[in-house]
Amino acid sequence: MQLDDIKSLVAGRIIGKSSVLKLWKEFDNMKPVKIVWHQLPGRKLKATYVILPRGREYGLNEDDMIPIDEWLNENIPSARRLSFDTWLFKQDKHITMFLLRWS
């Protein structure tokens, strides 16, 4: 369901408020998170997120990091996760490969 569909449902009062709120929350959760990577000293990369338009802020959560961690385990096994949003790489070429995939 798209945003226009939700707006038309609300405007036409076709369904109740609780149903609309549920649909709105589902739509809100579908928004992709834009991750920005910052290089730290010692071949480390740290993830941050971009604030989406309309003044809403979203933070990163573990679900955002799982595909990244899985990809790293398959493709760059020497990379080590230091914390929730920070990885350590052994070589600069691994950082380049990572940034090409995830930026």
Q: What is the pLDDT of residues 14-30, one digit of tens each?
A: 555 666 666 556 555 55
- Domain check: are 42 and 83 in the same one? yes
- Domain check: are 46 and 95 in the same one? yes
Q: How many domains does the chain have?
A: 2
pLDDT at 44 over 60: yes
- Domain check: are 11 and 49 in the same one? no
SS (H, E, C) 16-29: CHHHHHHHHHHHHH
- Domain check: are 48 and 75 in the same one? yes
What is the structure's pLDDT at 48? Answer: 82
- Domain check: are 60 and 94 in the same one? yes
What is the structure's pLDDT at 103? Answer: 82
- What phi and psi values does residue 53 have, to the nearest 5 degrees? -60, 170
Q: Which residues 6+ apart lie within 8 Å of 27 measured at CB?
A: 1, 2, 3, 6
Over residues 45-87, the pLDDT tens digits come to 888 876 555 445 566 778 888 999 999 999 999 999 998 889 9
- From the list 16, 33, 30, the residue with the least C-alpha distance to 102 is 33
Range of the domain at 18: 1-30
- Rounded mean pLDDT, 79-102: 91
- Domain check: are 11 and 25 in the same one? yes
- Domain check: are 46 and 88 in the same one? yes
- The dihedral built from the CA positions of residue 55, 56, 57 and 60, taken in this order, carries a sign that is negative
